[in-house]
Structure 1
Amino acid sequence: MLTIHFAGPAACTVWKPGVAEPADTPVWLDLLDPDDAERAHAESVLGAKLPQRDQISAIELSSRLRSDDEILRLNIPAFVRAEAGHGAMTPLGFVLTPKLLVSVRYAESLAFAHASELTDKAETAGNSVDMFIGLIESIVNVSADRMEETAAELSKLSRAVFSDEGGQRGLLRGALFKVGAAQRQIVQLRSAMLGVSRVIAYLCEISPEWIGKKKLERFKTIQTDIGSLNEFEQQLSDRLQFLLDAVLGFINNNQNEIMKVLTIVSVVTIGPMTLAGIWGMNFKSIGEYDWPHGYAMALAAMAVSVIVPMIIFKWKRWF
């Protein structure tokens, strides 16, 4: 899908072959998993080739960040999908010129949806650099919101894990899955923010004249915000590791409790089983067979052999 955003008051439009476009000047071409026709139309408007998916996914620095004349090619190999923590991350590519911004992505994104909504509501969309800055700010804001959501989920999960309720044992297994999902989301956010941070650092370093000093200051502000998010993400990672250790500790403690009960049961049953084994032998020389109350005595001896170890365990506070 190819969505075209214009500089004038015309709303964004989805490009379709053979359909006339508004007369306004486009400032942002947003390609979502484009086909050959959409890619060819975007290249004709841009006047340059767009990167392929394998080129956007490349991790080497020369492929991710490149400047050719007045064309900036900025690629983020791993970007967060619309639903963080679900599915694989997809690459995101930008081609930025003084007059046009082209974005190439392969999955839905809340950040792009928010940026598109803000652009449609604005009276004037601004130039391509303004669009790019607004889009990057939207990406950072969405990442911050997701980190806050993850922090709230971790706080809720922590209260449940450290509660003294009777159903805690059943909660621990589910807590492991929730910890894994939170870890996946944090890793995805970290990867996305790392890619965005490198793009911003590159722009601040090369600083083309057509970007302007005021917009460069906005890039530096975004870089500061990303630094704050990285610190917050590190705190989340530490909390997540502590919570994982706590859950595993509780699981091990529950297993130890079960093993202790089984050990006590096995020790307590040794006495009666031994007596039953002795008196259960079919030898004529066993004198207890002829006692008038031999059966009651045997049962009493077995009961005593159970009660005495339990008293000892209770006295030792082993259960």
Structure 2
Amino acid sequence: MLNVFTLASGRLFQEEIDSAAALAPVEPVWVDLENPSPVEKSWIAGRFGLIIPDNIIDDDLEESARFYEEGGAIHIRSDFLIDDEEAPRNVRVAFILHRNVLFSIHSEDLPVFRLLRMRARRIPALIEDAKDVLLKLYDADAEYSADALEGIYDDLDKVSQRVLKSEVNDAAAATALADIARQEDLNGRIRRNVMDTRRALSFMMRSRMLGADQFEEARQILRDIDSLDSHTAFLFDKINFLMDATVGFININQNKIIKIFSVASVALLPPTLIASIYGMNFKAMPELDWSLGYPFALAIMVASVITPFWYFRRKGWLN
């Protein structure tokens, strides 16, 4: 899918292109390609003289290939977060700044891109050139990461209420562990996302491609990103605490089961010993010489069972 965005009075206007003829008269400030086909890439090459490699968004790029200048064009590779409830992930996006036009290539639609398109349509004078589009994308990415962190706070608060304010059985503990692991994964992806955004902004500032106002805006975005670091670190600590607490409750439940078997084995040891001694093959068997031999042995066995349980209950070991 190929979408072009033209600028008029500081507002972005989107147009979906379906042919080379439709692309020819357009003077865009931003060209967005989602899963571009070879035909669409040929349209870009014919209209703007830009060759888009097939492996431009591959995940196995070297670190040195993430930010570079080539042939007068600036190439930037960045990861953007998708906070999907079932499968949160980071999606690679390739940016090319060529002849004052920003080209973005990615494999799926991104919430940050939708957010910028909505803002640019509603807010006048938000964008003046292609560099502003790139900065506003990184600014929206920082806000999106902050919103995702707030969602983690809310989800972990629900887990805390289940784990710390009620009795936790094995099923509840398993659910809590799954929720905690999911939030830990999302928190790690957010941290990776903001780190990648920080690196991209630092490259743009070092390359001197930004004007004075844009440079100051990039610094402000970096300050916003720095403020997120303390939140991610706090969430990692909170996640570790909840994980340890949940595992502790699981251990307590397991210890209760082991405690039952331990008490039963200790309580049944005396009658077992009595039965073993009484059942030995004596020369003169007691039940032959004494009619009350069996009842007497059974009474001793019952007493030897009751006595340990009475002692354990008095000590509070059965509670």
Distance 1:284 1:44, change over 3 A: farther
Which position in structure 2 is the counterpart of 1:111?
Answer: 112
Which position in structure 2 is the counterpart of 1:95?
Answer: 96
1:189 paired with 2:190, answer yes
The unaligned stretches of length 5 or more in structure 2 are none
Mapped partners of 2:107, 2:153: distance in 1: 28
Greater shift, 111-120 or 136-145, is seen at 111-120
Distance 1:278 1:54, change over 3 A: farther
Q: Is the 8 A contact 1:56 1:63 kept in 2?
A: no
**Aligned length in residues:** 315
Distance 1:262 1:218, change over 3 A: same
Which position in structure 2 is the counterpart of 1:204?
Answer: 205
Which position in structure 2 is the counterpart of 1:246?
Answer: 245
RMSD: 2.6
Which residue of the other structure, out of 126, 131, 134, is the alignment partner of 1:132? 134
Letter in 2 for 1:246: A
- Report the Cα offset of residue 97 of structure 1: 4.0
Could you state the TM-score of these two structures normalised by the residue count of structure 2?
0.88
Mapped partners of 1:132, 1:52: distance in 2: 22
Distance 1:22 1:148, change over 3 A: farther
Mapped partners of 1:30, 1:88: distance in 2: 20
Which position in structure 1 is the counterpart of 2:218?
Answer: 219
Cα offsets for 1:186-241 (capped at 9, x unmatched): 12111211111100011112222xx3100110001001111111221111111111
- Report the Cα offset of residue 88 of structure 1: 5.3
Cα offsets for 1:79-124 (capped at 9, x unmatched): 4235266165332111124621111111332111111222233456
1:25 paired with 2:27, answer yes
Letter in 2 for 1:275: I
Greater shift, 234-243 or 123-132, is seen at 123-132
Runs of 4+ aligned residues of structure 1 deviating over 6 Å after TM superposition are none
- SS at 2:185's partner residue? helix
1:236 paired with 2:235, answer yes
Which position in structure 2 is the counterpart of 1:308?
Answer: 307
Q: Is the 8 A contact 1:85 1:185 kept in 2?
A: no
1:12 paired with 2:14, answer yes
- Report the Cα offset of residue 271 of structure 1: 2.0
Cα offsets for 1:6-43 (capped at 9, x unmatched): 11367312221366359552111111122211222234
Q: What does 1:126-205 correspond to in 2, within 5 Å?
A: 126-165=128-167, 167-205=168-206
Letter in 2 for 1:30: D
Mapped partners of 1:70, 1:18: distance in 2: 24
Letter in 1 for 2:5: H
Mapped partners of 1:18, 1:102: distance in 2: 16
